[in-house]
Amino acid sequence: MSKILIAANWKMNKTDNEVISFLKKLTRNNNIISQLEIIIFPSFVSLITAYNLLKKTRIKLGTQNISNKEKGAYTGEVSVSMVAPFCSYVILGHSERRIYFYENYKDVNEKIKLALKFKLKPILCLGETSNERKKGLVLKVIRNQLNMAIKSLSAKDIKKIIFAYEPIWAIGTGKNDKPEDTNLISSQIKRLLINRFNLKNEEIKIIYGGSVNLNNIEEFLIKAKINGFLIGKASLDYYNFSKIINLIKKQNDKKIFKPR
Ligand code: PGA
């Protein structure tokens, strides 16, 4: 059975000392169950600290970004080969990178290829703006983003990617998508990939991100046909995050939520 994925995207938060204090508490938590794949995404600066605290645990480490260049004279950039020894995952195509740092899906495509080359699993973010949603363009937008991001990838590559549906209007706003709508988009993403790459339903992993928190996660667990969550704000406070993990554990024990 595939695991429920909980990706904690800490964005530009937490100093090294704060990372240490959070991870010390998290690694003492007996509730980290084998059915969960918890992945922590600290800043580049804290990757080695986090790696040393997590290496003997089941908790995985990821990086929030990599450069689209493999190496060379690119001041301020961090290459995939610098982070690959410590990380298992990388977040790519996040809307904050696209909006504030002008990344496009051509860059994302290059980053995915580099990530795969260095055996990092990409979490590929896709999602529409509120205007696009109002105009009924969600599927068109997602299809375009997807086509650019996965250009010239193989079926074998696609199976290694986690697809994160992250409506831009839901990120950091406190307004989450309805699980029913998430199901609609996630089934469309699956259909596109199944038709194009001749894959089985269970070979495609889709997670949801956008204001997931303690108040709405239960509804998602009950209704959403997804493989997990990308959590920003609600993953920053240890006690809040551990309550989310406990809720997932409870639903999982009741067999309500099964990754599909
Ligand atoms: P949020 O962030 O949970 O704070 O909305 C999610 C994300 O950006 O991945």
The pLDDT tens digits along the chain (260 residues) read 578 999 999 999 999 999 999 999 999 976 667 789 999 999 999 999 999 999 999 999 999 999 999 999 999 999 999 999 999 999 999 999 999 999 999 999 999 999 999 999 999 999 999 999 999 999 999 999 999 999 999 999 999 999 999 999 999 999 999 999 999 999 999 999 999 999 999 999 999 999 999 999 999 999 999 999 999 999 999 999 999 999 998 887 776 665 65
Q: Encode 194-213 in three state secondary structure.
A: HHHHCCCHHHCEEEEECCCC
Report the C-alpha gap between 62 and 121 in whole angstroms.
Answer: 9
Ligand 1 atom at minimum distance from 171 CA: 5
E-only strand ranges, 81-236: 89-92, 121-126, 162-165, 205-209, 228-231
Closest CA to 61 of 33, 32, 91: 91
Nearest CA to ligand 1 atom 3: 232
How much distance in Å is there from the Cα of 205 to the middle of ligand 1? 18
* Region at 72 (left for phi over 0; alpha for psi -120 to 50; beta for the rest): left
Closest CA to 22 of 1, 55, 45, 49: 49
Ligand 1 atom at minimum distance from 211 CA: 5
Q: How many residues does the chain have?
A: 260
Report the C-alpha gap between 11 and 8 in whole angstroms.
Answer: 9
* Whether the predicted model's global pTM rises above the 0.85 cut: yes
Closest CA to 203 of 139, 156, 150: 156
Decide if 110 is catalytic: no
Residues with CB under 6 Å of ligand 1 are 9, 166, 171-172, 209-212, 230-234
Which structure tokens are listed for 215?
């108040």
- Cβ atoms of 157 and 114 closer than 8 Å: no
Which structure tokens are listed for 15?
């100093």
Decide if 218 is catalytic: no
What are 164's strand-pairing partners? 125, 207
